[in-house]
Amino acid sequence: MAATRKQKLLRQHRRDKRIAMLMVFVALLVIGVTVSIWLVPLLLVLGWIAHEAWFADHLFYSPQEDYRYEFPPDVLQIGGRIEGSRLQLAGDVPEADTLILMVQLEATWLGCLRDPRVYIGGDRQDFERGARGRRYLNLSGQQEAMRAGSLRFDSRYCRLGSEVKLYAMRNPDYTQRRVLIIAPHADDAELAAFGVYSHASEVAIVTLTQGEIEADNYRRLGLDSAAAARLKGRLRTWGSLAVPLWGGVSQQHCVQLGYYCLQLPAMEAMPERVFGSRESSEADIRTVRAHNPLQLPGDRDGQPTWQNLQADLRILLAHFRPEVVVTPHPELDPHADHVAATRALHQAIEEGEWKPATLLLYANHLHDNDRWPMGPAGCGIALPPAIEPLPADRLWSPTLDAETRLDKAMALAMQHDLQVPLPLKKRLRRSIQRILAGRRWPTTGDDEFFRKAVRRHELFWVRER
């Protein structure tokens, strides 16, 4: 499973880090004995600063590996070259909404200290420090500049190979179809698809869990652990129902199912068993369902079981009758609840009466790179690392104008879980990286998702059923 691979990569990363720390300790011991003991604390401080500046990222693969993408055979491919900062294609720029350019990228020596970046017209897309190999730039929204021959490519801290290949993909405008968004937690819909749902003509959002765990921040209010978790669950429930109104989605089209955070995989394994909250001491999902626009099967007994979740989803599919369902990518997004959410959706579709035609898959988390999308807020989204081959899906990458990006940032600012103050260690790390690595964070919010999610593009993998 995706989560298992994530844990394996994390264990390997921690093991390698322990070995490196042991080697550093031995080296410092030798220096202290043979040179001067007073050098040791100075070197420790310098070493910690270097770690925070350049080695604190969770990157569970070599940045010198190729990304391995395949696309469906009907995707148009056009060879070309980058000559004198201009893109020269072997054919005309096609009519397509999503354009992906495969390039060979190699970081310079400065690209081991600063994030390599490529400037494409008014856009910028960043990559891993020390990157070398096949990468995929997102040119969606740049069609007119490409046709006019005015699109320029510039790079900093890296070099681009001259040979490129353009993948052109055509999709219907999914915002003009009936859309249902599956959000495992409050804020997942905003992170992945605020631009889509704020422009959709007919959309509904279904949030599966209360998201009540990891509520230590609320204990400052004088609450014990269970009460803090209950408060957090209520606040995130409110967010899942209220925040979509900022994007034009009425409460009549928002549903909170009230299952419990990180319990979905266990529920799937034992469909008849009740799985209450790990932290709030609650086991009745009806406590947060009072404002739902329709009665659901789980309302009868309030039990958090997989059977109730399946019954709820089947009724919701039949009620909203979506042509398109937006849901987490089961191969890319490793969060256990995200994987289980999409599995629950698949089962409900197979066993229910309503069969949507299209799934749009999103990734709010990654297995092996906790900074993707890399670079500052407001920039484009290059394709994420795919070190192991993924299913050959078509892509849809709608563009967000400046007004929509600001609205998306404000929608995230309304989510209580994204307003937790940064701990001192992270603030120090950001200050060090700002000075030494040249990184920047937005002023809209401190949480990393304000940088990662508020972008020029949103990105979905398209699977037709």
How confident is the model over 122-164, as pLDDT tens digits? 999 999 999 999 999 999 999 999 998 889 999 999 999 999 9
Extended beta strands in 70-229, E state: 76-83, 86-89, 98-107, 117-120, 123-126, 132-138, 153-156, 158-160, 163-169, 178-183, 202-209
Q: Give the whole-angstrom CA distance, residue 339 versus residue 453.
A: 20
The band of 73, judged by pLDDT with boundaries at 50, 70 and 90, is very high
Of residues 14 and 191, more confidently modeled:
191
Specify the pTM: 0.93
Question: How high does pLDDT run on average in the chain?
Answer: 93
pLDDT reading at 84 higher than 90: no
Please tell me the predicted confidence (pLDDT) of residue 149: 86
What average pLDDT does range 235-264 have in this prediction? Answer: 97
Q: Give the whole-angstrom CA distance, residue 342 versus residue 182.
A: 8
The band of 7, judged by pLDDT with boundaries at 50, 70 and 90, is low
Amino acid at 342: T
Please tell me the predicted confidence (pLDDT) of residue 34: 79
Q: Which of 207, 227, 200 is nearest to 216 (CA)?
A: 227
What average pLDDT does range 232-244 have in this prediction? Answer: 97
